[in-house]
A and B are shown apart, each in its own frame.
Chain A
Amino acid sequence: MRQAFIEELTLLAETNLNLFLIVGDLGYSVVEPFAERFPDRFLNAGVAEQNMTGLAAGLASCGFHVFTYSIANFPTLRCLEQIRNDVCYHNLPVTVVSVGGGMAYGNLGYSHHATEDLAVTLPLPNIRVIAPGDPFETRLATRELCKKPGPSYLRLGKAREPTIHAAIDGIKDLRTLQILQEGSDVMLVSTGGILEQVKAAAERLTQSGICAGYSSSPYLKPFDEAGLLSIALKTKIIISVEEHGVGGLSSLISETLHRNNMNTLFRCLKTQTENYKFVGSQKHLRAKHGLDEEHISSFAMTCLADLADAT
């Protein structure tokens, strides 16, 4: 995803002369195409995320659309007040980009896991929050952010995520819930790079004779409420899946369903604080938190069985 992002940004910067990229001493061997092509619109602000974000707000107030770039929770939690007061409140064109959303930097430990970033950015004023599910969604998100600059948070996976959409042209409107497969028994709704696990889980369920669908919600703010409600009318169970704790996609969905008096069964899979003490590869940690294809599919089976028992 980080590759798709930097390729798009570099391309867009050819014609959009206001695009500016600032890194917090990260992105080595990723951001060079941009840095070499546009040295006047690139800065390494050093290991100083608060200053990087404040500086971005200053540049943005003078007409630039600034992208700040770092990993995990450094460009969000470390400088949250700068994002809140200096960027969002003043509705300035700053896009915060984080590589390694979730537990992509698993082996580096909790200090390098981003599992609360959605919860703290979603309530901020004027912000758009986007967590693409594959490289195609990443490209489109980057284009849209450049077309309509404003306070925004782009939460990326890391590297080598598979493409899930068949083609980039197949994505009609990135702002809507991306239904990749319909499912009348269960619909898995995910956000971010966990989409690949969700797809695999849906395939397993289908093989077991269950009508299972899966979808991606790249936009978390604004959230596609209408899309969710139409899913709710067409399926028995909605299960959200995200590499993030409480306060992200699951909270958006439960709030939307509740506010609209929908009683479609809703269950969520997310990270649990009691498991934050574990360290390991992303693969291991996803399994620990019940976020890999095995757990997602068996969880869906259990939910369906419970529903059948209850009716």
Chain B
Amino acid sequence: MNYTDGQLEQKSLKLRRSVVKWIKHAGAGHTGGSLSCIDILNVLYNRILNVSPENFTSPDRDRYVQSKGHAVEALFVVLADAGFFDESDLETLCCYQSHYVGHPTRKVNGVEQNTGGLGHGLPICVGTALAGKMDAKDYRVYTLLGDGELAEGSNWEAAMSAAHYKLDNLTAVIDCNTLQIAGRTADVMNSEPLVEKWEAFGWAVRRIDGHDIAALTEALRDPLEAGKPSMVIADTVKGRGVSFMEDVGKWHHGVPNDEEFAKAMEGFDMQLAAKEGALS
């Protein structure tokens, strides 16, 4: 289905509401980092990726690996929305014997790669992108990293190799929400200047507003430059969409109490009503 930017913005609001709803239901979850990356996943799954429940087993499908695996709730609601499974499956989120657990697992339809330990996604994607080149396939490979995650050295080993192998079929996105568990990334382990670093490693780099549907679409659609891997630095707000969670570190992992939950839902209802008004 072809969505307008406005329709995708509306979808993002619904997806965010679902994230908070299911985390509340499960009593656990990485709330802040799931809310910050919703627009990125929404654009990827609804505009960019050639991947669907129908072609998921095809060797020609595009690949999306969520390296920041803790934001699994975002991935689950987006996959459910894309028809990989029924959203009601999430009733079992975090229950014993459910496949819907605290990090992505391939037991869930649509999940490309198990993640959880940070710093694994990019090296794996270098491998799948390299395989694509060797097999002369057209598929593209995407991965999502956290800004705190960038401190893992494995990312920089992968950065060097992706440029070395000229993997222009690989796009990495940084969900640059400026927070990690224990505070501001700039205070814990400053990763800036990101644009200069990735350029120096041989990547084509674009820095955009990570909540701007049109800008995301533009940046993610094609390789930014032939012969180079693409890096999209998406500036985002952790906890986006819930007023009292926005840019507040403690919501990295956390479940709203009943009162907070009601307030969050009310906030989404208002944002959705405004969006519907604007669309009609």
Chain A residues at the B interface, C-beta cutoff of 8 Å = 23, 25-28, 44-51, 73-74, 78, 107-112, 278-281, 284
Contacts and interface: CB of A to CB of B under 8 A. Distances in A.
Contact of A111 (B69, B152, B189, B252): B69
Contacts of A44: 182-183, 188-189
Q: Which 5 A-B pairs have the closest CB atoms?
A: A111-B116, A46-B189, A280-B96, A46-B151, A108-B102
A26 B114 CA distance: 22
B7 to A, nearest CB: 34
Contact of A112 (B116, B180, B188): B116
A109 B101 contact: yes
Contacts of A281: 96
Interface of B: 28, 69, 94-98, 101-103, 105, 114-119, 148-149, 151-153, 180-183, 185, 188-189, 250, 252
A78 to B, nearest CB: 7
Contacts of A48: 151-153, 189
Contacts of B148: 25, 46-47
A25 B101 contact: no
B97 A280 contact: yes
Contact of B189 (A45, A50, A112): A45
Contact of B117 (A28, A111, A279): A111
Nearest to B105: A109
B87 to A, nearest CB: 20
B151 A112 contact: no
A107 B102 contact: yes
Given A51-B153, A109-B102, A112-B103, A25 B188 contact: yes
A47 B149 contact: yes
Nearest to B115: A111
Nearest to B116: A111
B153 A50 contact: yes
A179 B179 CA distance: 47
Given A25-B180, A111-B115, 11 more contacts: A25-B181, A27-B182, A28-B252, A46-B180, A46-B185, A50-B153, A108-B103, A109-B101, A109-B114, A111-B69, A112-B116
B192 to A, nearest CB: 13
Contacts of A279: 96, 98, 101-102, 105
B181 A280 contact: no
Given A111-B115, A111-B116, A278 B97 contact: yes
Contact of A47 (B94, B95, B101, B180): B180
A229 B78 CA distance: 58
A292 B119 CA distance: 34
B28 A107 contact: yes
Contacts of A49: 152
Contacts of A27: 182
A26 B151 CA distance: 14
Contacts of B180: 25, 46-47
B182 A28 contact: yes
A73 to B, nearest CB: 8
Contacts of B98: 279
Nearest to B26: A107
Given A109-B103, A111-B115, A28 B28 contact: no
A107 B116 contact: no
13 contacts: A25-B148, A27-B182, A28-B182, A46-B188, A47-B148, A47-B152, A50-B153, A107-B101, A108-B103, A109-B102, A111-B117, A112-B116, A284-B96
Contacts of A47: 118-119, 148-149, 151-152, 180, 189
Contacts of B69: 111
A112 B153 contact: no
Nearest to A105: B102
A46 B182 CA distance: 9
B5 to A, nearest CB: 34
Nearest to B107: A277
Given A44-B182, A44-B188, A74-B117, A112 B102 contact: yes
Contacts of A280: 95-97, 101
